[in-house]
Amino acid sequence: MAEYQRHEPEKALLHQVVREQLAGFLSSAAHREQPTPRFIEQELRAFLRCGVLAHGFLRVHCDDCGHDRLVAFSCKRRGFCPSCGGRRMADTAAHLVDRVLPEVPVRQWVLTLPYPLRYRCAYDAKLASQVLRAFIRSLFAELRRRARGKWGFPAEQCGAVTFIQRFGSALNLNLHFHTLALDGVYLYALGHGQPPRFLPLPPPEPDEVARVLSGAARRIQRVVEARDADDDDSLARDEPLLALLASASLQTRIATGPHQDEPWRRLGDRVEPHESREAATDPEASDRVPQYGGMSLHADVAVPSRDRPRLERLCRYVARPPLASERLGERPDGTLTLRLKTRWRDGTTHILMERSELIERLVPLIPPPRAHQVRYHGVLAPGASLRDRILPSQPARPRDDEPTQGVSRSGQSATSDSQASPIPSSLSNEEPRPSGRSREPASPAAPDGPGQEPDGEPHATDVRAKAGRLRWAALLQRVFEVDALQCPRCGSTMRLIAAIEAPDVARRILEWLKLAARAPPLGTATDPCGGHSWLENDSFFDQSASCDEPSLP
């Protein structure tokens, strides 16, 4: 008998609320003639399929005791899914520490933007890239200036990795940059075959941080002035729903409904700012965090060269998802509470919201398509000439795309076996007979963005550069401390033998195991004018429902 185990943090409340409110959110936007962008709707629907066995799963088998386990697929999206975001966070941090960031001091530079610029950069990927480029140029110029003053060398190279974060602790839209910059410069090798020499720098003084900020502000101002020739709000014209939700999120106000334009409701021990202990330690109130034109720059966090575990923790922090499931709670009256990471200066500890407001808070946090959220600069850029000479030397990990023995596609060998009997042979203790093209194990959180490795075998002369990311089971172990491939009965290592993707095959297997063979239904949306269900005549909802009720061939 097989067992089902999600191996994910508990996100039942978030999944339940999105499932209940999605139809109403879409129908309400359509009624206001503010259609939902396609990538937003795809993100929300993919989240509802995340971790649901009816939409496909992996089967792992223990050869010692014959025990089976089913593990559901994940959405692998970049928005707000806590489990997929956690695996992506661990994978990105491990990749940076093991294969990108050299063993030199690293300093974090955090640049916050003024509110109008946050709104414009939220869905304008080109403008966000130009603003980030202006900041990086100012930062690198200051590092070179300090290096020339300390070491006297004229030719230096800098390097950095930037994470574009879109969220604040209250699920508010707050686009800002976390830049992990090498705390020093590289000097070109003077002799042939010699490695580049790294010249470390002391911690920056407050006036040096202020110089970086002022230089970045002047460059950003020129970028904005060049873009102001077309001064209309293109986001409000092209995507009115995103403009409405983004503007309300920036102002921490309710976007729609009977309480529209009212401030977010807060809970906590409300105190005056001067009575709050956090006011004295607030970063924006510190003399070491300069302010200039609505922007601020923080540079007090640094990691020594040999402290790789601490560097990985820092990378995980800047690559974290916007929401952790344990922060979302439910009150007896059905309203939701969001616990803040740290208490605000006025004593606020929780944000209170209606269930219908949750999706409105999540939508602005979804990044636009084809916009990378991790950027590489200087000697760490993919095309840098010195990059291959400074990368950390690590043994290559096994690739995730190596064929796994016994893995077969559902719909080929698995489908042919299941058509003869409601109990497919993939659930028996006999050795399966794979046929057709083998596929890689379907990772619940496959990496994306810079650093994604191409398919195919690595070249023998550059195994390190072609080596793949962490394996799926290793990510689960690294993030959730759960070994999905360890048999709970005998402790042996289980092996992946099937990836079930066909809905009819998945339904037959789940029915035989007496598990939920259909995904939970969406909540019904009520027409604001007529009071009937929008699902009755909406072809898109009918199409999505077919995934919940697959028809047999």
> DSSP string spanning 51-70?
T-GGG-EEEEE-TTT--EEE
pLDDT of residue 202 exceeding 50, the answer is yes
Q: What is the DSSP string of 235-282?
A: HHHH-HHHHHHHHHHHTTB--SSTTTTPBPEEEE----GGG-HHHHH-
pLDDT of residue 438 exceeding 70, the answer is no
Name the 3-class secondary structure at 174: strand
Nearest to 243 by CA among 509, 29, 437: 29
Nearest to 8 by CA among 358, 325, 321: 325
Contact between residue 2 and residue 514 where contact means Cβ atoms under 8 Å apart = no
Q: Average pLDDT in the 144-149 region?
A: 91
Give the pLDDT band (50/70/90) at residue 269.
confident
Other CB atoms within 10 A of residue 389 CB: 15
Question: What's residue 278's pLDDT?
Answer: 39
Residue 303 vs residue 276, higher pLDDT: 303
Q: Which of 2-16, 46-60, 170-184 has the lowest mean pLDDT?
A: 2-16
Q: Average pLDDT in the 400-427 region?
A: 35
Residue 22 vs residue 283, higher pLDDT: 22
pLDDT of residue 29 exceeding 70, the answer is yes
pLDDT of residue 276 exceeding 60, the answer is no
Residue 281 tokens, joined: 């330690």
Q: Average pLDDT in the 495-515 region?
A: 89
Residue 467 tokens, joined: 């080596």
Question: What's residue 520's pLDDT?
Answer: 84
Q: How many residues does the chain have?
A: 553
Other CB atoms within 10 A of residue 200 CB: 15
Q: Average pLDDT in the 99-114 region?
A: 95
Give the pLDDT band (50/70/90) at residue 229.
low
Question: What's residue 481's pLDDT?
Answer: 67
Give me the long-range contacts of 268-272 (CB less than 8 A, separation at least 24).
Answer: 268/343, 268/344, 268/346, 268/347, 268/348, 268/349, 268/350, 269/347, 269/349, 270/346, 270/347, 270/348, 271/346, 271/347, 272/346
| Cα–Cα distance measured from residue 120 to residue 235, given in angstroms and rounded to the nearest whole number | 8
Question: What's residue 456's pLDDT?
Answer: 38
pLDDT of residue 314 exceeding 80, the answer is yes
Q: Average pLDDT in the 330-356 region?
A: 92
Query: What is the value of pTM for the model shown?
Result: 0.78
Contact between residue 101 and residue 184 where contact means Cβ atoms under 8 Å apart = no
Question: What's residue 423's pLDDT?
Answer: 32
**Pairing mode, strands 57-61 and 68-72:** antiparallel
> pLDDT tens digits, residue range 277-302?
433 344 444 567 888 889 999 999 99
Number of alpha carbons in the 13 Å side-chain half-sphere of residue 321 = 25
Question: What's residue 41's pLDDT?
Answer: 95
Question: What's residue 346's pLDDT?
Answer: 85
pLDDT of residue 416 exceeding 60, the answer is no
Nearest to 472 by CA among 84, 54, 93: 84
Buried b vs exposed e over 25-64: b needs ≥16 C-beta within 10 Å?
bbbbbeeeebebbeebbbbbbbbbbbbbbbbbbbbbbbee
Question: What's residue 45's pLDDT?
Answer: 95
Q: What is the DSSP string of 287-346?
A: TTS-EETTEEEEEEEEE-TT-HHHHHHHHHHHT--S--GGGEEE-TTS-EEEE-SS--TT
Question: What's residue 530's pLDDT?
Answer: 43
Residue 282 vs residue 360, higher pLDDT: 360
Q: Average pLDDT in the 126-149 region?
A: 95
Question: What's residue 231's pLDDT?
Answer: 63
Q: What would you report as the CA-atom Rg of the chain, rounded to the nearest whole angstrom?
A: 26
Nearest to 90 by CA among 317, 427, 287: 317
Residue 195 vs residue 211, higher pLDDT: 211
pLDDT of residue 376 exceeding 90, the answer is yes
Other CB atoms within 10 A of residue 10 CB: 12
Question: What's residue 14's pLDDT?
Answer: 93
Question: What's residue 178's pLDDT?
Answer: 97
pLDDT of residue 192 exceeding 70, the answer is no
pLDDT of residue 364 exceeding 50, the answer is yes
Nearest to 93 by CA among 466, 360, 479, 505: 479
Q: What percent of the chain has pLDDT over 70?
A: 73
Q: Average pLDDT in the 422-433 region?
A: 34
Question: What's residue 277's pLDDT?
Answer: 40
Give the pLDDT band (50/70/90) at residue 18.
very high
Give the pLDDT band (50/70/90) at residue 430.
very low
Give the pLDDT band (50/70/90) at residue 531.
very low
Contact between residue 437 and residue 409 where contact means Cβ atoms under 8 Å apart = yes
pLDDT of residue 460 exceeding 80, the answer is no
pLDDT of residue 84 exceeding 70, the answer is yes
pLDDT of residue 431 exceeding 80, the answer is no
Question: What's residue 408's pLDDT?
Answer: 37
Number of alpha carbons in the 13 Å side-chain half-sphere of residue 65 = 14
> In angstroms, how far is CA 424 from the centroid of its own chain?
36
Residue 459 vs residue 48, higher pLDDT: 48
Q: Which of 146-155, 213-222, 363-372, 519-528 has the lowest mean pLDDT?
A: 519-528
Question: What's residue 93's pLDDT?
Answer: 93
Q: Which of 199-208, 364-373, 386-395 has the lowest mean pLDDT?
A: 386-395
